[in-house]
Amino acid sequence: MLQGLEAAGADVLEVGVPFSDPVADGPVIQSSSQQALAHGMTFEGALQLITDAKLSVPVVLFSYLNPIVAAGPDALHRARAAGAHGVLVTDLPVGEDPERESWFGAGPLDFVRLVAPTTPRERMGLIATHGRGFVYLISRLGVTGMQDEISTSLPGTLATLREVCTLPICVGFGISTPAHARQVGALADGIVVGSAIVRAAERSVDEALALTRSLRVALDEG
Amino acid sequence: MTASVADSGRFGAFGGRYVPETLIPALDALEVAYADALRDPAFVTALEDSLRTYVGRPSELSDAPHFSALVGAPVYLKREDLNHTGAHKINSAMAHGLLAQRMGKTRIIAETGAGQHGVATATVCARLGLECVVYMGEEDMRRQQLNVFRMRLMGATVVPVLSGTRTLKDATSEAIRDWVTNCEHSHYIIGSVVGPAPYPRMVRDFQAIIGREARAQMLERAGRLPKSVVACIGGGSNAMGIFHAFVPDREVELVGVEAAGHGLATGQHSASLAQGTPGVLHGALSYLLQDADGQIYPAHSVSAGLDYPGVGPEHAFLKDSGRGTYVSVTDDDALAAFGQFSRMEGIIPALETAHAISWIMANAGRWAPDEPILLCVSGRGDKDVAQVAEMGIVPL
Ligand SMILES: Cc1ncc(COP(=O)(O)O)c(C=O)c1O
């Protein structure tokens, strides 16, 4: 699956470490997390998947604080050795736990930080200086999951973030179709598609790869 | 001791704001609105009036002659069961409702386990004209049908939660997801001293009226402070509420009683302080029931209000600092105490409270005859009668 996604045109792959209580996730990722846990998936298991896939595109781990901290003090080094390049933690906002943030920040992975539509401009600047790799802009109020239309406030939020941020900006949450990809791809440096690919993969791997190819085509055509 | 550390949103190392970035501005705004409200005499007066004329405060301090004889020391009952809606939960819900109104929020979100917090929130929303959405695990809706009916009767929307263990943990996650989505016009009224800062401190402050009243009532009635203050612990709000005024009284023992479910050794319990390890759930760092991979265990308790794998961060702090003593009681012992106490005192306690009662019973002889015990009767047990009858303990 990971190799297939790379071949289908993904520039970066996000690999989730499932958590039992994913408060930032909608029904699709909740259910995939539950299934993964029921099948015994762990932090170590996710690293093994990355190792086995032998990818040439970068991999970003995404999870919640609890499973990553539980994986031990050298978890980030093990992740790097397995081939991960970045890490994204949905429940560790900038400035809330300096000790743990510096553990992530000083580690071998790019610590990707998130900006929300509710984040004030000044705080966006703060977040941008604490992140590495890219900044992840959440496209709308809410949890992960598919939607019909891209939030109308996105262009404004993105423009404000650009003013205070020199890192590349990737936009995620709710991007589900090639039309969304084209629309957001024109504004941002990257798009993140989660639930839509997971939902497609529930039906078949082929369907997930076909969706990925169509997203790639939409981005390339602009 | 507790007040100063709380200003950082932490109680020692515990607490914090481990939430999606989207909620940080909402939590900042809540912090400011709360501080403003406390400085505004109009808010303080409106809250005091509502608590007196609508909730029915101050709650009585009753003696318990038969129970005291059994225990061998005078036991005083702080009667939160006599509040409107039948539990302590409304102390905090009322204050949060008034605060939400002040902040211009028109929609209220809550989670509930036993349904007592949901009922309290639905009540306050009806009274204040606010829209009310309550998330409740499907399993709890079954255990607490009466409370589901009460909430709906008062106009609340009760949303069944089908994910995970279908109990309080998952209802809380679902309420947080709603709040992330609707934080601009909705206020989240959390049901215990849990969640991200400033919630644990706010709910503690709003519940602290229990201990303030009880401390004065004890001095008046018993002529001295209690030897021990005993309360059950789900998230820990009734316990924090009654403990808070006594924290500086070093000679007063503070005892929190967790649910040992089928027994601590079985792994099927809700004793986060006794058996848990520090971790992050629902926005705060505290003791949690979790496995070596940091996944949260499903909790178990016969009592829906105690069936939660975490605990408020201030209790984690009181435990580690040695100021609080934390013990636990099994389902079977709590059920026995539920019946025994009802017969002895003519008060049907909530199953949650029955855990605290059982611990005192089991420790009869621990107190000298002149050492009073203060028990927080966190709620009345009407909501539990159908469940207990179904279990065949007392035929209906
Ligand atoms: C009567 C009663 N007591 C106790 C509790 C436990 O909550 P807490 O520990 O926050 O007081 C509940 C929760 O629903 C309750 O309804």
Give the per-residue SS3 of B249-311. Answer: CCCCEEEEEEEEECCHHHCCCCCHHHHCEEEEECEEEEEECECCCCCECCCCCCCHHHCCCEC
- Per-residue pLDDT, B295: 97
Please write the tens of the pLDDT for every residue from B114-154. Answer: 899 999 999 999 999 999 999 999 989 988 899 999 999 99
Q: Which domains are delineated in chain A? A: 2-221 (3.20.20.70)
Query: Inter-chain contact B180–A141, Cβ cutoff 8 Å?
Result: yes
AA letter at B328: S
User: Do you find a cis peptide bond into B65, omega within 30 degrees of 0?
Assistant: no
**pLDDT per position as a tens digit, B209-241:** 999 999 999 999 999 999 999 999 999 999 999
The Cα B358–Cα A29 span in angstroms is: 42
CA of B116 to the centre of ligand 1 (A): 8
In tens digits, what is the pLDDT along chain A, a chain of 222 residues? 899 999 999 999 999 999 999 999 999 999 999 999 999 999 999 999 999 999 999 999 999 999 999 999 999 999 999 999 999 999 999 999 999 999 999 999 999 999 999 999 999 999 999 999 999 999 999 999 988 888 899 999 999 999 999 999 999 999 999 999 999 999 999 999 999 999 999 999 999 999 999 999 999 987
* B126 touches A: beta carbon within 8 Å: no
Interface check for A222 against chain B (CB to CB < 8 A): the answer is: no
Active-site hit among A6, A25, A101, A110: A25
Chosen from B8, B10, B21, B167 to mutate, greatest number of chain A CBs within 10 A: B21
**Nearest CA residue ID for atom 6, ligand 1:** B234
The pTM for the full model equals 0.96
Interface size between A and B, measured as CB pairs under 8 A: 117
Contacts B280 to A, Cβ<8 Å: 64-66, 69, 91
| CA atoms lying within 13 Å on the CB side of residue B384 | 27
Of B24, B180, B295, the CB nearest to A20: B295
Res. B8: pLDDT tops 80: no
CATH 1.10.1240.10 fits B57-86+208-390, yes or no: no
Q: Residue A138's closest CA among A108, A166, A162, A172?
A: A172
Coil/strand/helix, residue A126: helix
Secondary-structure class of domain B10-52+89-203 per CATH: alpha beta
A93 touches chain B (CB under 8 A): yes
Ligand 1, residues B85, B89, B189, B341: which to mutate, most atoms within 8 A of Cβ? B89
Put simply, the answer to whether B25 touches A117 (Cβ < 8 Å) is: no
The answer to whether the B10-52+89-203 and B57-86+208-390 domains have the same CATH topology is yes
Nearest atom (ligand 1) to Cα of B353:
3
Which tokens in the block code for residue B13? 């190392």
Instruction: Give domain limits for chain B.
Output: 10-52+89-203, 57-86+208-390
Alpha-carbon distance of B282 to B266, in angstroms, equals: 25
Query: Rounded to an integer, what distance in angstroms lies between the CA atom of residue A148 and that of residue A176?
Result: 8
Q: Ligand 1: which of B136, B209, B230, B237 to mutate, judged by most atoms within 8 Å of the beta carbon? A: B237
Residue ranges in chain A assigned as alpha helix (H): 2-7, 27-38, 43-53, 65-70, 75-82, 98-105, 121-130, 154-164, 178-185, 195-203, 205-221
- Please list the alpha-helical segments (H only) found in A1-96: 2-7, 27-38, 43-53, 65-70, 75-82
Q: List chain B residues with CB under 8 Å of A114.
A: 20-21
Q: How far is B182 from chain A (nearest CA, A)?
A: 7
CA–CA dist B249, B343 (Å, integer)? 34
Taking the C-alpha atoms of residue B145 and residue A41, their distance in angstroms, rounded to an integer, is 36
ipTM confidence? 0.96
- As a whole number of angstroms, the distance between CA B318 and CA B341 comes to 29
Give the Cα separation of A161 and B372 in Å (integer). 61
Q: CB under 8 Å to B206, separation ≥6 — which residues?
A: B91, B92, B94, B95, B96, B241
**Strand B131-137 relative to strand B157-161, pairing:** parallel
* Cβ contacts of B191 within 8 Å, gap of 6 or more: B89, B92, B110, B111, B112, B113, B117, B118, B121, B235, B237
Nearest to A24 among B20, B279, B292 (CB): B20
**pLDDT tens per residue across span B265-309:** 999 999 999 999 999 999 999 999 999 999 999 999 999 999 999
3-state SS assignment for residue B79: strand
